[in-house]
Amino acid sequence: MAEGAQTGTQAQTPARMRRPAAGAPLRIALAGLGTVGGGVLRLIEANGALIARRAGRPIIVTAVSARDRDKDRGLDMTRYAWEDDMTRMAARADVDVVVELVGGADGPALTLARQALRSGRALVTANKAMIAHHGMELAALGEQSGAPLRFEAAVAGGVPVIKGLREGAAANAVDRVYGILNGTCNYILSTMEDSGRDFADVLAEAQALGYAEADPAFDIEGTDAAHKLAILAALAYGTQIDFTAVETTGITRILAADIAEAEALGHVIRLIAMAELEGEGGRGLFQRVQPCLVPFDHPLAHVDGPTNAVVVEGNFSGRLLFQGAGAGDGPTASAVVADIIDIARGIAQGFEADMPFSVPVANLEALPPAASGHRRARAYLRFIVADRPGVLAEITAAMRDAGVSIESLMQKGRADSEGEVLVAMVTHEAPEAAVTEALRLLDGSPSLLAKPLVMHLIEK
């Protein structure tokens, strides 16, 4: 049974999709009038004639909903019917497509999504959390009713990476998909790199500029990137979404000193989301979000500010790079309206089936999480230790006993912390399990004043 599906007397049989007559307008109900929702309205108004030519029919907004009806949005809202309860929009006779831009994995957004697809109305959403948690259920509902489900804007804003995986790379077996999926983290890291300032200072600046939320935990702890990675992995490998299996580490513990050490090694630090098949016959799915050291000559090293970029490595296409604005009203609204245009074209061509994950939900594999201990990589390790004799020998002995060879090592005092020393090292390529064992041997040592930081090095 699909995740979150209803059973018993609660189950409903989906209606078949409502299809407008040839040439008739495609009628949109829009839930959520924040930055992106306002952008969608402005885009449809500004480019309406162009959109109609490309879609094969006019696209009009008939109904809207948001929490604050009286807010001044700089738009003429009188032309649209208003629904105080957004979940009612899926039952309106003048609606063919529901656009959900409210956000949140559950609650009213999920209720609206379910009702739209069950009633045979197409659903377009930018809600990565909802798709990561309930995408399988919603895709199954869309299949049953013949109603399209589109979510291009849920990953990387205006960057067409979902379309690239579904269509452009459709003939390829994907060896690996990875990239920078959170603009807030990328802005913070690249600003730390440029300015030499520490994390807390740059985060405060990002909040003041609107690049980070007042509560930035979802971004800086890696959850937002993990939602997006789970969606990309399902598309790349034809698997069921498994957000809970994504190993996630954020950027909150990165110091300006780590940025400087990475630069001295010819690298930058970026929060990298990565997925690939592993194990015998590729029967396990590895998914991880983690800050990594990226070499200067890698394409991702030059992705600065609030930009997103995704690398797809296909067995015949080779390396494909998708890069652009990962958020904002214009880019995200562009992706939302592109999905609406795709739906309009499909209706015009009489498409009956919709497979948002490229294959039927029943054919998506449920792969177990791949163990990471055997993965071999060079690692950057950073310790903050007491300034006393024998500490360095203690650390190197733990590395020796775990079978980890040290490639380079640096030790220096911290100007702002009396009695503390920062020790950083890069290991030779070794199994991740060996590095984990070395840290276990050091666990509880009074010489360590903070939890060690581990970041892997991305190879070219």
* pLDDT tier for residue 12 given thresholds of 50, 70 and 90: low
pLDDT in tens, 271-282: 999 999 986 666
pLDDT in tens, 186-213: 999 999 999 999 999 999 998 888 888 8
Domains recognised in the chain with CATH numbers? 8-158+329-363 (3.40.50.720), 168-325 (3.30.360.10), 376-456 (3.30.70.260)
- At residue 326, the pLDDT reads 81
| 3 vs 344, more confident | 344
Q: Which of 44-58, 343-357, 428-442 has the lowest mean pLDDT?
A: 343-357
Question: What distance, in Å, lies between the first and last C-alpha atoms of the chain?
Answer: 41
The rounded Cα 364 to chain-centroid distance in angstroms is 20
CB 343 within 8 A of CB 350: no
- At residue 8, the pLDDT reads 38
- At residue 19, the pLDDT reads 72
d(CA 231, CA 121): 22
> Region 373-395: what's the mean pLDDT?
94
- At residue 349, the pLDDT reads 55
Provide the token pair at 65: 């909903």
The helix or strand, by DSSP H or E, that contains position 406, with its residue range, turns out to be strand 406-413
CB 95 within 8 A of CB 66: no
pLDDT for residue 153 is more than 70: yes
- At residue 378, the pLDDT reads 96
* pLDDT tier for residue 218 given thresholds of 50, 70 and 90: very high
pLDDT for residue 40 is more than 60: yes
- At residue 296, the pLDDT reads 96
pLDDT in tens, 407-425: 999 987 765 556 789 999 9
CB 128 within 8 A of CB 156: no
pLDDT for residue 329 is more than 90: no
Burial class (CB in 10 A: 0-12, 13-18, 19+), 189: buried
pLDDT for residue 455 is more than 60: yes
pLDDT for residue 2 is more than 60: no
Strand positions, DSSP E, 218-298: 247-248, 267-278, 284-295
pLDDT for residue 456 is more than 70: yes
> Region 179-186: what's the mean pLDDT?
95
pLDDT in tens, 287-307: 999 999 999 999 999 999 889
CB 46 within 8 A of CB 150: no
The rounded Cα 282 to chain-centroid distance in angstroms is 23
pLDDT in tens, 316-325: 999 999 999 8
d(CA 359, CA 212): 36
Q: Looking up tokens 């090293």, which residue turns up?
A: 301
- At residue 353, the pLDDT reads 54
- At residue 414, the pLDDT reads 61
Q: What is the mean pLDDT of the chain?
A: 91
- At residue 5, the pLDDT reads 43
Provide the token pair at 325: 């604005």
Angle at 132 between CA 131 and CA 138, to 5 degrees: 35
332 φ/ψ sector (left φ>0, alpha ψ -120 to 50, else beta): alpha
Helical pair 391-402 and 432-442, crossing angle rounded to 10 deg? 140
Q: Looking up tokens 């300006």, which residue turns up?
A: 256
What positions carry a catalytic annotation?
Answer: 228
Strands 174-180 and 267-278: antiparallel
Phi, psi of 316 (to 5 degrees): -115, -35
pLDDT for residue 9 is more than 70: no
- At residue 209, the pLDDT reads 83
The rounded Cα 225 to chain-centroid distance in angstroms is 4
Phi, psi of 398 (to 5 degrees): -65, -40
CB 291 within 8 A of CB 267: no
Which residue in 147, 146, 148, 108 sits closest to 127, CA to CA?
Answer: 108
> Region 71-96: what's the mean pLDDT?
91
d(CA 29, CA 90): 8
Q: Which of 73-77, 146-150, 272-276, 359-363 has the lowest mean pLDDT?
A: 73-77
